[in-house]
Amino acid sequence: VRESKPIIAAVNGAAVGIGITMILPFDVIIASDNAKFGLVFIKMGIVPELASTHFLVSRVGWGKASEMMLSGHLYTGEEVHKSGLTEYLTKENELMDKALEIANRMADNPDKQLLMTKQLLTTNAVTTNLKAAEELETKLLHECWETEEHKEAVSAFLEKRKPNFR
């Protein structure tokens, strides 16, 4: 998932068990006020999967992740939004419009650089080596300077127009 184009989850019902763990690595999660979220593995006598223990801690912090996974409690869209699990909370009838708005903002950008940025976010979010993080950014930045997408962005800026990356 982290090596793909940007992925947005729009949750308007139950995201329980694998329904939540599979969306944790998504780039943006949006919930409607009708959504329910639960990491109920503990109640089933099993443990979480799909690296959800990593991704949940990254999204909500150690304490909230512990509470969610160790209790198996079912949370409302509003509750998980307040904890930082979702980037947006909408009314049920506004959910898809919000998801499409965000998707279109991302889709306006060049594919290659979207993938590179996701690579940087994925790799650098968990490193403790700031020098390595900077070196990876510099390496990819140098690659970008040689791309048609960068040339188009510079031309569009100078010509005061929106870039056309397609």
Residue 3 has pLDDT above 90, yes or no: no
Share of the chain above pLDDT 90, in %: 96
DSSP the chain: -TTSS--EEEE-SEEETHHHHTTTTSSEEEEETT-EEE--GGGGT----TTHHHHHHHHH-HHHHHHHHHH--EEEHHHHHHHTS-SEEE-GGGHHHHHHHHHHHHHTS-HHHHHHHHHHHHHHTS-S-HHHHHHHHHHHHHHHHTSHHHHHHHHHHHTTS-----
Residue range 136-157, pLDDT digits in tens: 999 999 999 999 999 999 999 9
**Quick one: pLDDT band at residue 33, thresholds 50, 70, 90?**
very high
**Quick one: pLDDT band at residue 34, thresholds 50, 70, 90?**
very high
pLDDT of 66: 98
Question: Mean pLDDT across the chain, nearest whole number?
Answer: 96
**Quick one: pLDDT band at residue 4, thresholds 50, 70, 90?**
confident
pLDDT of 166: 85
Residue range 71-124, pLDDT digits in tens: 999 999 999 999 999 999 999 999 999 999 999 999 999 999 999 999 999 999
